[in-house]
Amino acid sequence: MQPNSSNNKWFPKTVYIATYGCQMNEYDSELVRSILKKDNYEFVTDELAADIVMLNTCAIREHAHRKVYGRVHSIRHARGKDNPVMIGLLGCMATNLRQDLLEDRSLKIDFIAGPDSYKRLPQLIREASDEGRKSYDVTLSEFETYSDVYPSRTQGGVNAWLAVMRGCNNFCTFCVVPYTRGRERSRSPENVVDEVRRLAAEGFKQVTLLGQNVNSYRFEDHDFAYLMDEVSKVEGIERIRFTSPHPKDFPDRFLDLMAANPKICKHIHLPLQAGNNRILTMMDRTYTNEEFLDLVDKIRAKIPDIALSTDIIVGFPTETDGEFEDTLQVAAKVGFDSAFMFKYSERQGTIASKKYPDDVPESIKTERIMRLNEIQKEITHLRNRAHIGQIQTVLLEPYPEAKNPGQMPGRTDGNKLVILPLGPYKGGDFIKVRITDATPHGLKGHPV
Ligand code: SF4
């Protein structure tokens, strides 16, 4: 901590931030860095050297909760009485559990800022350090998009994440996002394009547009297709990705643009969540499995080489064996290139937590996820093998050579990982690669 010359008081000046959960949280940590750097805080990479440790938390998955609780205790323990530290919680979990967190004396949290309150962080920190009181702001905003904050990105070079909208209006019954991040609001296309131009000037080759429900982006009369088209006109940016969309927002106009525009990567993350109609209704996903399959057919008819990934939840309340089989069938019919699979776990404050007891035993959830995992692994391997012999354009990622000596990682347009023998290339280069082998985890290839 730094002494203040006027009154010899100590003020925290160095910050360490740890990020949990999704890419949006990573992006938000970059915003926080930018906001606090303007206020003369310095970021350090050693947690033990920091005056303030901030944990940017996630409320989506239970293990994220456990991790954060454990981390707070271990920080306090490691620092002891002689080396004090302020601890602040940011993010979705901070919003959702603020009361518990502030009242839990064993946790000793100094300040809490929700996802729409990061501009108030300098003030919250001052209140906590000067006045020694717990300070918090978890107010949700209908307007905050941080369009006036340029994130302080840590990983320079190849891909930049960029939030174009925040919040969600969908209220899927299992999800906390509408409560922790509020309603949907979007940045103006001009503001987004300005940031993309800046990223191109800094040497980034790819941008990934982010939003909790990214394809419901809307600013005045402009929709997501318009935004993607505008972003694709920025010179120097060669690849554009987006995540996460909702299946309800894929108009033909957007798919036609994807098909025609070579800069928009041919990959869609299309969350299925469940393949049984009763469960989909209980989740309030607003589509049936037939509609989901029709959408997949439409996407593949327009963009034959599209790669599809998904999210699936098993063991939603009351899900029977037969209903789980429906999910397996839909997953097999679609043949996703990859899938993130989760066991249902109740999240405080959600509609499901109020209406549906979490009644599928843990052992059944485990059995189901193992079966799904096994089947998806085979499908992924099959889809990957189909690329053997093809020539693909690969964007090389930055690689710490020491980690995998003699190898370079890259990504295909469809977002598949390709491992290549080390060559005279660097992260950010596009190279043509012949795919020589495939595993359930990715591809292997040689530059041609
Ligand atoms: S669309 Fe996504 S973020 Fe929004 S409520 Fe549903 S699962 Fe949550």
Measured from the Cβ of residue 427, the count of other Cβ atoms closer than 10 Å reads 18
pLDDT given for residue 5 in this prediction: 41
* Residue 349 in this model has a pLDDT that exceeds 90: no
pLDDT given for residue 78 in this prediction: 86
171 lines ligand 1 (CB under 6 A): yes
Is 120 in a helix, a strand, or coil? helix
169 lines ligand 1 (CB under 6 A): no
The pLDDT-based confidence of 8 (bands split at 50, 70, 90) is: very low
Environment class of 211 (CB within 10 Å of its CB; exposed 0-12, middle 13-18, buried 19+): buried
What are the residues facing 395 on neighbouring strands?
Answer: 411, 430
The pLDDT-based confidence of 6 (bands split at 50, 70, 90) is: very low
- The token duo for 108 is 């000793």
Going by CA atoms, what residue is nearest to atom 6 of ligand 1?
172
Q: Which atom from ligand 1 is nearest to the alpha carbon of 212?
A: 3
Q: Which atom from ligand 1 is nearest to the alpha carbon of 285?
A: 6
The Cα 38–Cα 224 span in angstroms is 32
The Cα 57–Cα 22 span in angstroms is 9
Question: Closest by alpha carbon to 367, among 356, 357, 375?
Answer: 375
Q: Which atom from ligand 1 is nearest to the alpha carbon of 176?
A: 8
Q: pLDDT by residue (tens digit) across 294-323?
A: 999 999 999 999 999 999 999 999 999 999
Average pLDDT, rounded, for the chain: 92
170 lines ligand 1 (CB under 6 A): yes
Answer whether 445's CB lies under 8 Å from 418's CB.
yes
Our mutation pick for probing the ligand 1 site, out of 183, 212, 249, 280, counting the most ligand atoms within 8 A of Cβ, is 212
CB contact set of 33 (below 8 Å; sequence gap of 6+):
17, 43, 151, 152, 154
Q: pLDDT by residue (tens digit) across 380-405?
A: 999 999 999 999 999 999 877 667 78
The pLDDT-based confidence of 156 (bands split at 50, 70, 90) is: low
Q: Which atom from ligand 1 is nearest to the alpha carbon of 175?
A: 8
- Residue 319, amino acid: E
Distance from residue 171's CA to the centre of ligand 1 (Å): 6
Mean pLDDT computed over 62-70: 72
168 lines ligand 1 (CB under 6 A): yes
Question: Closest by alpha carbon to 208, among 184, 177, 238?
Answer: 238
Answer whether 20's CB lies under 8 Å from 91's CB.
yes
Q: pLDDT by residue (tens digit) across 31-47?
A: 999 999 999 999 999 99
Give the residue, 12 or 441, on which the prediction is more confident: 441
Mean pLDDT computed over 344-349: 89
The Cα 135–Cα 129 span in angstroms is 10
pLDDT given for residue 151 in this prediction: 94
Our mutation pick for probing the ligand 1 site, out of 173, 176, 177, 283, counting the most ligand atoms within 8 A of Cβ, is 177
Q: pLDDT by residue (tens digit) across 215-242?
A: 999 999 999 999 999 999 999 999 999 9
- The token duo for 367 is 């059995």
Q: What is the DSSP letter of 60?
A: S
The pLDDT-based confidence of 73 (bands split at 50, 70, 90) is: confident
Distance from residue 53's CA to the centre of ligand 1 (Å): 29
Q: What is the DSSP letter of 245?
A: -
178 lines ligand 1 (CB under 6 A): yes
Q: pLDDT by residue (tens digit) across 169-217?
A: 999 999 999 999 999 999 999 999 999 999 999 999 999 999 999 999 9
